[in-house]
Structure 1
Amino acid sequence: MLVESIMNTDVITLPPTATIEEALRLLKENKIRHIPIVEEDTRVIGIVSDRDVRDAMPSSFLKDADRKELQNEIQTIMTQPVITVHPLDFVEEIARIFYEKEFACVPVVKNEQLVGMVTEKHMLHTFIQLTGTHVQSSQIEVKVPHRPGVLPEVAQIIGDHNVNIVSILIYPYGDDPEYKVLVFRVQTMNPMPIIRGIREAGFKLLWPNNIMEPKI
């Protein structure tokens, strides 16, 4: 999945000469947490968060607080330089930036111009779609040897039961490089026939691992 498919293109920006008070107003009115700071050609030169603005505000405990700080230019508190991503970057890859840098949003830049924003909310929504948890389905986890062809073998078992696969994820099996965990979300609320088929094929079921065959 590409960044351009999930980014918000309706981005509110400010020039570096805007005041902190202007930023505060935009943050409140639009219920957003970040504002990119751009030059006239929409080149991103910084970013300001709601936390940056709060930290720059005079204390509310001081009745006669000097509010001149709010008239300072936004460039005095913006974060720079700014890490950006490209609209053709893969969402799965930029997730590492969010994790490692602990970012809440990243500007999307093409030809040095701002074209969109990706936020934590966009990333979480994408993760929900990738894992298939947004549709009614059942989850099956299978321990398999790490060898070519094992994924289609297990997928064929599901296909033989005429059940759609909503999503497939592959995880390491602890620290053991000889095995992987295949996580399927299948579009059925009765996965028992599939579970039976997986067991009969000799694969170890990790989840659900407490379902026994009904006694006849």
Structure 2
Amino acid sequence: MLVKDVMKSPVLTIGPEATLEEAFNFLLEKGIRHLPVVEEGRLVGIITDRDIRLATSALNPKGPCPGCTPVREVMTRGVVTADPLDPVEEAARVMRERKIGCLPVLEEGLLLGIVTGIDLLDALLKLTGVTEPSGRLEVRLPDRPGELARLTGFLAGRGVNIHSLLSYPEGEEAVRAVVRVNTLETHPLAEALRREGEGFEVLWPPRKPW
């Protein structure tokens, strides 16, 4: 799944000369939190509802109108961006490392879209198959060639279709595989997996107490 598959487009933007009050009201009206700042077709910054609250609270309430401050004085410059062909996991990594809530999406300098943390959560739900009726299996496998194939072969041999499969390393010697399958009857499958050959270490569903 790529950024272009989950980004919001077209993008709502604002100009750098707009006031903080105008920007805040626009964010409230549209129900969004991040607003790219565009000047003459170029992305020059980004401003969030949090930026506006912090900026207005820091200004002297007895001084000039806090909400009349131009966006350009508060916006974040040097915006971190994504490419529409970036994998969603790369976008998630960048957002996590930079501790930011969104990535404007640029192609050849043009603003095509924006991807937020909520968009990435939606992508995760799709990738895991949880949005479709399915059952869940979680299995710990030795980290060696052929183990994942052994698991998928076992399921295929029982006519079970895999909706999604995610795996990740656990320490240096094991891999966890989280599998979504086209049946809700996962307890019989789990017991069969535990009995098969040397047995699979099934973490979910747990053994029934009876």
State if a TM-score over 0.5 links the two structures: yes
SS of the aligned residue for 1:57 comes to helix
Residues 84-132 of structure 1 show CA distances to partners (whole Å, capped at 9, x for unaligned) of 0000100011111121122111100111111100011101111111111
Alignment match of 2:154 (pick from 135, 154, 157): 157
How many residues are paired up? 208
Residues 46-86 of structure 1 show CA distances to partners (whole Å, capped at 9, x for unaligned) of 10000111123368xx6xx5552322211000011100000
In structure 2, C-alpha distance between the alignment counterparts of 1:209 and 1:28, rounded to whole Å: 46
In structure 1, C-alpha distance between the alignment counterparts of 2:126 and 2:51, rounded to whole Å: 32
Kept in 2, the 8 Å contact 1:58–1:67? The answer is no
Name 1:73's counterpart in structure 2. Answer: 70
Q: Which runs of 4+ in 1 moved over 3 A?
A: none
In structure 2, C-alpha distance between the alignment counterparts of 1:72 and 1:182, rounded to whole Å: 52
**What does residue range 137-156 of structure 1 map to in structure 2 within 5 Å?**
137-156=134-153
**What does residue range 72-111 of structure 1 map to in structure 2 within 5 Å?**
72-111=69-108
Kept in 1, the 8 Å contact 2:143–2:175? The answer is yes
Name 1:53's counterpart in structure 2. Answer: 52
The alignment's TM-score, normalised by the length of structure 1, stands at 0.88
Name 1:186's counterpart in structure 2. Answer: 181
What one-letter code is carried by the residue in structure 2 that aligns with 1:11?
A: V
SS of the aligned residue for 1:188 comes to coil
Residues 14-57 of structure 1 show CA distances to partners (whole Å, capped at 9, x for unaligned) of 1212221221221111111111011212x211100001111233
What one-letter code is carried by the residue in structure 2 that aligns with 1:47?
A: I
In structure 1, C-alpha distance between the alignment counterparts of 2:161 and 2:174, rounded to whole Å: 25
Q: Identity of aligned pairs, percent?
A: 39
Name 2:34's counterpart in structure 1. Answer: 34
What one-letter code is carried by the residue in structure 1 that aligns with 2:33?
A: R
SS of the aligned residue for 1:83 comes to coil
Name 1:201's counterpart in structure 2. Answer: 197
In structure 1, C-alpha distance between the alignment counterparts of 2:79 and 2:12, rounded to whole Å: 16
Does residue 23 (structure 1) correspond to residue 18 (structure 2)? The answer is: no
What one-letter code is carried by the residue in structure 1 that aligns with 2:161?
A: N
The alignment's TM-score, normalised by the length of structure 2, stands at 0.90
What one-letter code is carried by the residue in structure 2 that aligns with 1:13?
A: T
Kept in 2, the 8 Å contact 1:56–1:70? The answer is no
Question: What CA RMSD, in Å, does the superposition of the two structures yield over aligned residues?
Answer: 2.1
In structure 2, C-alpha distance between the alignment counterparts of 1:205 and 1:20, rounded to whole Å: 54
Kept in 2, the 8 Å contact 1:157–1:194? The answer is no
In structure 2, C-alpha distance between the alignment counterparts of 1:14 and 1:31, rounded to whole Å: 15
Segments of 5+ residues of structure 1 without an aligned counterpart are none
